[in-house]
Structure 1
Amino acid sequence: MRHRAPSRTVLGRPVVFAGRDRLPSLTGLRFWAALAVVLYHLSRQVGPLPGLSDMVWYGRSGVTFFFVLSGFVLAWTYDGARVPSTVFLWRRFARIWPLLAATTVFSVSVWLVLGKAVSGKAVVASLLLVNAWIPETVILQGGNPAAWSLSDEAWFYLIFPVLMALPAVRSTRGRRWIGFLVCGGAVLAWLCGSLFTEASVRVWALDYLPLTRTLQFLLGVVAGLAVKRGWRPRAGLWPAVALVIGWHVVLIPWSKAVPDSLWYSPYSASQMLSAPLFALLVSAAAVADVEGRRTGLGGPWAVRLGHWSFAWYLIHEIVIRICLARYGRTESVTSTALVWLLVLGVSLVLSACAYRWVEHPLERLLRSVGPVAPAPKRNTPAPQNASLPLK
């Protein structure tokens, strides 16, 4: 069955989403995931706000959402296409590296202005997208502390062609078993946290190491292929949203009872055990878009904010750093709220500028000068199950 590109109406004129926005609700969800990460950092670094900070105290789980979403979108986009791996990898490089480089320069400049020492080794590791493999805090932070997840993404991109060629991934039964095994593996990995005697090593192994995070990406891949090929989750979009919110509500009393330093605290659990809920949420949103239902997540402004979310994720912590240097950690609720608003406003404006003048144009430039996929032969129908779906 052929699906039409979703459309919306703005000022009486239809707006059709195409290309990377063929599933606009997923683009809109990117903003909310980025917001959770931003509020998490604001709560822990600037100061908490009553009620709201309780809900986002483990908003770092938004990174898990991005890993699941990445697998889902890549599988959805490249299923059935024949594109060389070199083309795919170049396009993914063009997608993430220019903004990584720009924000790293910004981050290092801020550190130097503030009189902080900067590790050249850490900056190089960050720019080479390998810093998440190294269990040292200085290296993990790299040139930009928020950029560690791009090291994981680079690993996902490298293994994606291999994953898509696996017979188990290409079959309905195989995807079902992979889904069960991935969910069980995430629980087992979290329980293995009890084996680490050093907290810093445990945090690296469970929260940063690309091998551990691969489970979340793989779950997104099999979910994306399943939905693309006709599977429909039993839960709709808003029940899925309620489950995600409910999970974070459950974390509130858990966090008050168990310190983050202990292996069975919700710190790692919030990131490792939330992937199935995020896979359900992404699948339900994608199905709503495919069926042409309005979700409230895919309007023009929601999509625009989703476009800015990658830059926002990389920039917001730098802005927090500047505000902390200027105002310090606030004491009153009012002053905390004002700094929150300042960080949110400034970082979002900078992100919009970065998307328009750095991220998007440099991605287009790099893609235009890089390798291209061969044009399909005329009068030759594309196979139903191409072995390497890459863009």
Structure 2
Amino acid sequence: MFYWRRVGRIWPVHLVALPLGIYAFYVAAKVDIDWPGLISSVFLVQTWFPDVTPTLPGNPVTWTLSVELLFYALFPLVAPFADRMRTRWLMVATAVGLFGMYLVNWVADATLDPTMARWVMRHPLVYLPEFLLGMTMALALRRGWRLPLHPVVPLAGLFGWTYLYYQERWPFSDVVEHQMEFAMRPMVGVLSALIILAFLQREARGHRGILNNRLLVSLGLWSYSFYLVHHAISRLATYEFGRMPDNNAVLFTLIGMAVVINVICWALFTYVEEPAEKWWRKHTPKRWLDRGGETGGSALPPAPRREAETAPAPV
């Protein structure tokens, strides 16, 4: 049932948004359609093939869905094994995996031609440590593990890393710049996980923070639709109006575009994504409902009590 629910969550709005991506990145861009590449993007398997054309076919942003598809496929299979591992060993495995992710990026850049190196860096298998990072954090929290951390700290870390990565790399040597490039994905993954962790811990203590704001909750609901259409709409705007000037006035243009995109995302969520998911769930095969219950249950069994690990640390 887990797989059935994932299909109903991902594909309907993906298929509805795909024609917009095709128009923006093929028709308006005057790029010939490579049908094998486009078809691979429909089924979200495009990152498994090194020779698709263009490099990110179909709706380009969906390459990350191709990565997530592997995570979804593995989750029900891996979760019971992860649940039997002690938290400290999960953390060690996660750290080793993230370091391995950094090494793979480094080796690919050093030994492969640029096109093949970029494909390796986007391959779903390379992102498995981030999958393990999410599972480790969820299991650790579920077992009562806590980290004294205010959300401002990882948020500042992410802002600082982003600013350093995009704006201030020029004072560094080429070697340092390349190392920052190789470490970018693991670093952003860790900082993002820490942000989520910090907010979840506050929620668990009963603090209603900024993320409970109704507007932010709505933006979160629309975020999948936003992810699917924002790049295509911004590309079409570039074709129509040209590149935005590099000055402060561009902020107003960005705000206006954000409003337009979010209105479209609201419509997609309200009239496509949510109704389609409800319809899909309503048509879950009865034999799966009888076996798994109405909600389908969790892929994780109840965690056994481990006193040494479940006693919450002071926050």
**Aligned pairs, number:** 294
Letter in 2 for 1:349: V
- Between 260-269 and 232-241, the greater mean CA deviation after superposition: 260-269
Match of 1:152 in 2: 67
1:118 aligns with 2:33: yes
Question: Partners of 1:173 and 1:267 in 2: how far apart?
Answer: 29
Match of 2:191 in 1: 277
CA offsets, 1:128-175, max 9 Å, x none?
110011223625422101111111111111111222122576432332
- Give 1:10-29 correspondences, 5 Å limit: none
Out of 20, 29, 50, the residue aligned to residue 135 of structure 1 is: 50
- Between 288-297 and 132-141, the greater mean CA deviation after superposition: 132-141
Question: Partners of 1:330 and 1:125 in 2: how far apart?
Answer: 33
Match of 2:133 in 1: 219
Conserved? CA contact 2:225–2:268, under 8 Å: yes
1:307 aligns with 2:221: yes
- Deviation of 1:257 after TM superposition, in Å, equals 4.5
Conserved? CA contact 1:240–1:281, under 8 Å: yes
Match of 2:207 in 1: 293
Match of 1:103 in 2: 17
CA offsets, 1:63-111, max 9 Å, x none?
xxxxxxxxxxxxxxxxxxxxxxxx0011011111111111112222344
Distance 1:364 1:280, change over 3 A: same
Match of 1:176 in 2: 91
Match of 1:26 in 2: none
Match of 2:235 in 1: 321
Conserved? CA contact 1:311–1:355, under 8 Å: yes
TM-score under structure 1 normalisation? 0.68
Distance 1:194 1:112, change over 3 A: closer
Question: Partners of 1:212 and 1:350 in 2: how far apart?
Answer: 33
- Deviation of 1:290 after TM superposition, in Å, equals 1.6
Question: Partners of 1:283 and 1:277 in 2: how far apart?
Answer: 10
Distance 1:226 1:115, change over 3 A: same
Question: Partners of 2:144 and 2:197 in 1: how far apart?
Answer: 11
Bigger relative contact order (CA 8 A; separation at least 6): 1
Conserved? CA contact 1:131–1:139, under 8 Å: no
- Between 142-151 and 186-195, the greater mean CA deviation after superposition: 186-195
Question: Partners of 1:93 and 1:221 in 2: how far apart?
Answer: 21
Out of 201, 209, 227, the residue aligned to residue 123 of structure 2 is: 209
Letter in 2 for 1:273: M
Conserved? CA contact 2:103–2:182, under 8 Å: no
Distance 1:260 1:201, change over 3 A: farther
Question: Partners of 2:108 and 2:209 in 1: how far apart?
Answer: 38
Distance 1:235 1:144, change over 3 A: same
Match of 2:297 in 1: none
Question: Partners of 1:246 and 1:309 in 2: how far apart?
Answer: 24
How high is the sequence identity, in percent, across the aligned residues? 25
Letter in 2 for 1:132: T
- Deviation of 1:253 after TM superposition, in Å, equals 5.6
Conserved? CA contact 1:131–1:148, under 8 Å: yes
- Deviation of 1:355 after TM superposition, in Å, equals 0.8
Conserved? CA contact 1:258–1:264, under 8 Å: no
- Give 1:76-87 correspondences, 5 Å limit: 87=1
Letter in 2 for 1:241: L
Q: Which 4+ stretches in 1 moved above 6 angstroms?
A: 258-263
Q: Which runs of 5+ in 2 are unaligned?
A: 294-299, 305-315
Q: Which runs of 5+ in 1 are unaligned?
A: 1-86, 377-381, 387-391
Distance 1:174 1:193, change over 3 A: same
TM-score under structure 2 normalisation? 0.83
Question: Partners of 2:127 and 2:10 in 1: how far apart?
Answer: 18
- Deviation of 1:256 after TM superposition, in Å, equals 2.5
- Between 336-345 and 158-167, the greater mean CA deviation after superposition: 336-345
Letter in 2 for 1:230: G
Distance 1:341 1:253, change over 3 A: closer
Secondary structure of 2:146's partner? coil
Match of 1:40 in 2: none
Letter in 2 for 1:313: Y
- Between 112-121 and 140-149, the greater mean CA deviation after superposition: 112-121
Letter in 1 for 2:111: F
Letter in 1 for 2:44: L
Secondary structure of 2:212's partner? coil
- Deviation of 1:223 after TM superposition, in Å, equals 0.6
- Deviation of 1:259 after TM superposition, in Å, equals 9.8
1:94 aligns with 2:8: yes
Letter in 1 for 2:16: A
Q: CA RMSD in A?
A: 2.8
